Structure 1
Amino acid sequence: MTTNKKKIWLVLDSRGFGGIESHVEQLALGLSNARTDVTVVFLNSYGEHPVHKRLLYCGLHCDVLDGRFMSLWQAIRKGKPDVIHTHGYKAGILVRPITKILGITCASTFHSGEVKEGKIKLYDWFDRHTAFLANQVYAVSTPVLESLPCAAKLANNFVNTHNTPPSDGDQIAFVGRLSKEKAPERFVHLAKRFPHLDFHIYGDGPMRKQLERIAPQNVTFHGAQSDMRKVWIHIGLLVIPSRAEGLPMSALEAMARGIPVAAFNVGALDKLIQHDQNGWLIKQGDFESLVNVIHMWRNSDAVQRAQWRMRAIKTIEQRYSAEAVVPQLLQAYTAVAK
C-alpha cells in the first residue's frame, strides 16, 4: 500500500481549543498536504468547535460522534481506517482496545506533563497504563516520555508554515489555559513590575476570576480565541511562565511567525529555545531574570529584533515544520503497519 493512499483517522475528545487541538489541526493539515486520506474524528459534540470549523473550511473531512462506545466501534468497523492516531486520555482509552480486536494499526500521542487531580488523575493513570495496546506510542517531551510505563518515542510537535505571515506587533502576551500548571499569575505579577507597558492574556480557564481580581490595569484579558491567526500578528513577545509543559504549541506558533519566546526551562523547551539566540530560556522560578529579559527586549533596536525573528523562524522551518516532521511520521505509520 502506498503512503498517499493510507486512510488515517485522528481521534480526540474536545470541548474547546488548546494545545492538543492545535496539534491535531496541524497534523491533519500536514497529512493532507502529504496526500493522505485523513479524517478528524470528534468522539462527542459539545456545540460548535473552532477546529472542526477551520478543518472543514480547508476541505478536510471531519466526523462527530455521539459519545457512545458502540457508536465508535461501529464507525471504526464501517470506516476501516488503516491507522488511527489518538490524542487525549478519552480517545486513547476507548480506541486502543477496539483497534486491538479489529487488527487496526493504532498510534497514541501523550501531550500533557502536568500533575493531574481528581477524576482526571484516575483517567490519566488508566490512559498511561493501557498505552501498551497501541502499536506506537509518542510523547511530546522527555518528562512525558519518562512518565509512560511502556515503550515510547519522543516526537516533535510541529506547525504548518505555509501562509504564515510574520508578526509586526509589539504586544507582550500570555497565550494558553488559565490553570495552575501554566502559572498565569506569574505573568500578572510581571505586569505589575512594568506599569507603563501593556500586557495581554489570550485564553480562559479556572483561574480567570482570581487573576482578574489581582491584575493591575495594564493587563487586558481577551478570553479564549477561536482563531489565533488573527491575534499572532499583534504579538511581539510571548511569555511562557509555566510550571509544567510538554512542547507547547503556542511557542511553535509564535516562533513560526518570528515572535521570540521568553520561558522558564520546563518540558522540552530547552530543545526549542537557544538562550539569547531565538528566545530566552530561564531557570524555573527565576522571576528577576524574566524581568531582565523584558527590559532587554523592550530596549532592543530594530536590527536586534530582526535577528531574533529570523533565528526563530529558521528553527521552526528546519526542525518543527510539517515538512520536517510529517514524512517521519508517515514512515513510522508504515513501519508499524507492517
Structure 2
Amino acid sequence: MATLKKKIWIVLDSRGFGGIESHVEQLALGLSSARTDVTVVFLNQYGEHPIQKRLLYHGLDCQILDGRIVSLWQAIRKDMPDVIHTHGYKAGILARPIAKMMGITCASTFHSGEVKEGKMKFYDWVDRHTAFLANQVYAVSTPVLESIPCPAKLANNFVNVEDSEASNGDQIAFVGRLSKEKAPERFVHLAKRFPHLEFHVYGDGPMLKSLEKSAPQNLTFHGAQSDMRKVWNLIGLLVIPSRAEGLPMSSLEAMARGIPVAAFNVGALGQLIEHNHNGWLLEQGDMNGLVEVIHQWRNSDVVQRAEWRMRAISTIKKDYSAEAVVPQLLKAYATAAK
C-alpha cells in the first residue's frame, strides 16, 4: 500500500527577493526532491513575486492570500497541511497560533540577527517571544540563536547543488540588500581603492541613492535581480563586508558555483569559510585585509583559482547542500509530530 506524501506548507510574507526568499526557494526544491507535497504560501499579494515563476516552473504549488488572518485561518483549515514552516516575522506571528490551535506541527526559522528600529523592533520582539508556540524553532547562526528566548536549534542554510553550474566569471561583486547591516558603503570604499578594476553591485535598498552619489566610475549598480542564476556565472569573487549576518544565502550560492567569498567574521560565516582555503575570513572592519585579499585574488594563477573553486564547492556539498540538510529536517518534522 502506497504511503501518502507528507503535506508541507512554507509560509512567508514577501515583497521582493532576498536571503529569506532564496532560502525558501531552496527549501521548497529540496523538500520536493525528497518526495513531499510542498506548497509555498505568500500571505499577501504585492504583485508578481520573483520566485513564483521559478517555483511553478519546477512544478511546485503556490498560494497567494490577501493578508488577512481570517484568510490564513480558512486556507489552513481547508488544506490541513501536516507541517507548517514559517519564515519571517509576520508569517511566524500569524501562523504559529493557528497551527497550535489546529494541532498542526509547526516549525519556524529565524534568519535575522541585526538590531531592529522603529516598528520593526516591536514586530521582531513579538516574533521572538511567540516562537515557543512552534514545535521546532531554528536559527541560521549562533548570534540569531542567542536572540531567541525559547529552546531553539542551529540549522544550516543550504542550496541545491544540482542547479548550480560552476562560474567562469571574473567580476568582483556585492550581492544583497543595500542597508546598514550589510555595509555596502565599505564595498564602495574598496572600489575607490582599485580604480583600474571593475566592481559590481547586485541589489537594492534604502542606501541606494546615497551610495550612487558617492560611487566611483568603476562601480556599476545593477539593481535587484529577479533571477541571480543569470548573474552568478559573471562573478569571480564575492565580497561580504557586513556588520551583521546570519548565514547569508549569497555566500552559499556563490561557493556552490566555485566562487570564493571574502567576508568579515560575522554570524555563521566563520563556520562556512576557512581563511585562505575556500575563501577569506577577516576581522570585523578590516578593510586593509580586504584590499590584500583582492590583490591576492587578482594576482593568482589558474591553478590557485581552481583549488579555491574546488574547495568551496566541496564545502557546500558536504555540509550545506539539500542532500545533507533536508533529511535531517524531515526527521525533525517527524519527531515534532510525535
Q: TM-score, normalised by structure 2?
A: 0.99
Paired with 1:265 and 1:250, the residues of 2 have a C-alpha distance of 15
1:127-138 → structure 2 map (5 Å cutoff): 127-138=127-138
- CA shift digits 1:189-214 (9 cap, x unpaired): 00000000000000000000000000
Structure 2 residue 17 is the aligned partner of structure 1 residue 17 = yes
Stretches of structure 2 that go unaligned for 5 or more consecutive residues are: none
Deviation at 1:299, TM superposition (A): 0.3
- CA shift digits 1:198-244 (9 cap, x unpaired): 00000000000000000000000000000000000000000000000
Deviation at 1:4, TM superposition (A): 6.7
Structure 2 residue 36 is the aligned partner of structure 1 residue 40 = no
Letter in 2 for 1:54: R
Q: State the partner residue of 2:249.
A: 249
- Aligned in 2, Cα 1:259/1:2: closer, same or farther, shift over 3 Å? farther
Deviation at 1:2, TM superposition (A): 9.1
Deviation at 1:3, TM superposition (A): 8.2
Moved over 2 A (4+): 1-4
Structure 2 residue 181 is the aligned partner of structure 1 residue 181 = yes
Deviation at 1:163, TM superposition (A): 3.1
Letter in 2 for 1:284: Q
1:21-100 → structure 2 map (5 Å cutoff): 21-100=21-100
Paired with 1:15 and 1:3, the residues of 2 have a C-alpha distance of 36
Paired with 1:78 and 1:13, the residues of 2 have a C-alpha distance of 20
- Aligned in 2, Cα 1:295/1:123: closer, same or farther, shift over 3 Å? same
Q: State the partner residue of 1:296.
A: 296
- CA shift digits 1:143-188 (9 cap, x unpaired): 0000110000000000001132100000000000000000000000
Secondary structure (helix, strand or coil) at the match of 1:315 reads: helix
Q: State the partner residue of 1:325.
A: 325
Paired with 2:243 and 2:45, the residues of 1 have a C-alpha distance of 31
- CA shift digits 1:79-128 (9 cap, x unpaired): 00000000000000000110111110000000001111110110000000
Contact 1:4 1:34 in 2 (8 A): no
Paired with 1:150 and 1:329, the residues of 2 have a C-alpha distance of 19
Paired with 2:79 and 2:4, the residues of 1 have a C-alpha distance of 17
Letter in 1 for 2:247: L
1:103-114 → structure 2 map (5 Å cutoff): 103-114=103-114
Letter in 1 for 2:51: V
- Aligned in 2, Cα 1:3/1:134: closer, same or farther, shift over 3 Å? farther
Calculate the aligned-residue CA RMSD, in Å. Answer: 1.1
Paired with 2:290 and 2:3, the residues of 1 have a C-alpha distance of 46
Letter in 1 for 2:196: H
- Aligned in 2, Cα 1:33/1:283: closer, same or farther, shift over 3 Å? same
Paired with 1:194 and 1:119, the residues of 2 have a C-alpha distance of 39
Secondary structure (helix, strand or coil) at the match of 2:150 reads: coil
Secondary structure (helix, strand or coil) at the match of 1:127 reads: helix
Paired with 1:137 and 1:18, the residues of 2 have a C-alpha distance of 21
Deviation at 1:53, TM superposition (A): 1.2
Q: State the partner residue of 1:260.
A: 260
Q: State the partner residue of 2:161.
A: 161
Stretches of structure 1 that go unaligned for 5 or more consecutive residues are: none
Letter in 2 for 1:188: V
Letter in 2 for 1:193: R
Letter in 1 for 2:78: K
Structure 2 residue 314 is the aligned partner of structure 1 residue 314 = yes
Secondary structure (helix, strand or coil) at the match of 1:162 reads: helix
- Aligned in 2, Cα 1:2/1:39: closer, same or farther, shift over 3 Å? farther
Paired with 1:2 and 1:109, the residues of 2 have a C-alpha distance of 31
Provide the identity percentage. 81
Alignment length, in residue pairs? Answer: 338
Paired with 2:322 and 2:228, the residues of 1 have a C-alpha distance of 18
Deviation at 1:5, TM superposition (A): 1.2
Q: State the partner residue of 1:226.
A: 226
Structure 2 residue 213 is the aligned partner of structure 1 residue 213 = yes
Q: State the partner residue of 1:337.
A: 337
Secondary structure (helix, strand or coil) at the match of 1:5 reads: coil
Secondary structure (helix, strand or coil) at the match of 2:90 reads: helix
